[in-house]
Amino acid sequence: MNIKKINRVGFSPTGTTKTVLESIASGMDSKASTFIDMTLPTHDEAICFGSEDVVIIGAPVYAGRLPVHAVERFRKLKGEHTPVVIVVVYGNREFEDALLELKHLVIEQGFVPVSGAAFIGEHSFSTVEFPVAQGRPDSSDIACAKAFGEAVARKIATLESLVGVEIDVPGNFPYKNGMPANSVAPVSMAPCTLCGVCASVCPTGAIEVGDDVVTEASLCIRCCACVRSCPHEVRVIEDEAWKAIGVRLHTNCATPKMPQLFC
Ligand SMILES: Cc1cc2nc3c(=O)[nH]c(=O)nc-3n(C[C@H](O)[C@H](O)[C@H](O)COP(=O)(O)O)c2cc1C
Ligand code: SF4
Ligand code: SF4
């Protein structure tokens, strides 16, 4: 099979998944690939792919599952027996059922998974004081992702057709429970300039900036995109229980994990 066009599709509030997808694509073909960013609620129409496309699709792991908004948005994708590389990026704890969930989802949407991978990204809750997987994906993750992309391209090139192509990935079905309902969100402290950057990166539209910054906590998925992107570093997590999770992850997930590849 010939690769005619490489498409990257991702949900990536803090950017680590996006980086991994770019690195895999660069290994598959040094020519430019297209990125369809589904992090923000901007895609209303179905996005269709043909049998001459290859899609590399990725999302972070939230509570061992895919983020619900990633699932919702990926349901807009329609494959036509289109080969797909499935990727999850997790914060050095575990990826549990997320890769299996992604495999099932893409098959339901008309794609054929040819390879899969779980990479490590700096945990969304990581802070300077309590880092978790700090700096991941690092240069060795990037090299691994690129080599994985090269291996995937070789595999696709040797396939006559996709009939009978299957991959095994870890995970259980029924899946574990995902994120529980949320009632807390980051807050904006003085001297907030009301610049609106936090609202512009929020994947769920939870933030409104007018005379003040108002956050609808029930919409917050705790992705930390607003915290990371605030140019004045005044968007912060105040909730003690949330901060305690970060401290626990720092202690319990200190040993670096390695990417896992499923070709
Ligand atoms: C709400 C939430 C839940 C998470 N759950 C997990 C998890 O179960 N296991 C894990 O290792 N990392 C977990 N993470 C960390 C992310 O998977 C990780 O930081 C990932 O690199 C973020 O991807 P992004 O940069 O593309 O947003 C979680 C992050 C968030 C925000
Ligand atoms: S990004 Fe920071 S400074 Fe700008 S509105 Fe949000 S909290 Fe305020
Ligand atoms: S308000 Fe919540 S969902 Fe929106 S960017 Fe901030 S952490 Fe993410």
CA distance 137 to 122: 7
Buried b (16+ CB within 10 A) or exposed e, 121-146: bbbbbbbeebebbeebbeeebbebbb
CA distance 119 to 133: 11
pLDDT score for 42: 84
For ligand 2, what atom is nearest to the CA of residue 189? 7
Q: How far is the CA of 253 from the centre of ligand 2 (A)?
A: 30
Q: Which ligand gives the minimal distance to the CA of 59?
A: 1
Any ligand 1 atom below 6 A from CB of 119:
no
pLDDT score for 1: 87
Q: Which ligand gives the minimal distance to the CA of 216?
A: 3
* Residue nearest (by alpha carbon) to ligand 1 atom 2: 62
Any ligand 2 atom below 6 A from CB of 186:
no
Any ligand 2 atom below 6 A from CB of 106:
no
For ligand 1, what atom is nearest to the CA of residue 59? 26
Q: For a substitution probing ligand 2, which of 189, 209, 228, 229 has the most ligand atoms within 8 Å of its CB?
A: 209
* Residue nearest (by alpha carbon) to ligand 2 atom 5: 194
Which residue segments constitute the domains of the chain, with CATH numbers given? 5-174+256-262 (3.40.50.360), 187-238 (3.30.70.20)
pLDDT score for 32: 75
pLDDT in 10s for each residue of the chain, 263 residues: 887 899 999 999 999 999 999 999 999 986 778 999 999 998 789 999 998 999 999 999 999 999 999 999 999 999 999 999 999 999 999 999 999 999 999 999 999 999 999 999 999 999 999 999 999 999 999 999 999 999 999 999 999 999 999 999 999 999 999 999 999 999 999 999 999 999 999 999 999 999 999 999 999 999 999 999 999 999 999 999 999 999 999 999 999 999 999 99
Q: For a substitution probing ligand 1, which of 17, 35, 69, 123 has the most ligand atoms within 8 Å of its CB?
A: 123
Burial class (CB in 10 A: 0-12, 13-18, 19+), 51: middle
**Cβ contact 133:258 at 8 Å:** no
- The interface predicted TM-score of the complex, written ipTM, equals 0.99
Q: Hey, what are 176's tokens?
A: 């574990």
Rounded to the nearest 5°, which phi and psi values hold at 65? -130, 180
pLDDT score for 76: 97
With vertex at residue 117, the alpha carbon angle to CA 113 and CA 122, rounded to the nearest 5 degrees, is 140
- Residues near 214 by beta carbon (within 8 Å), at least 6 away in sequence: 207, 208
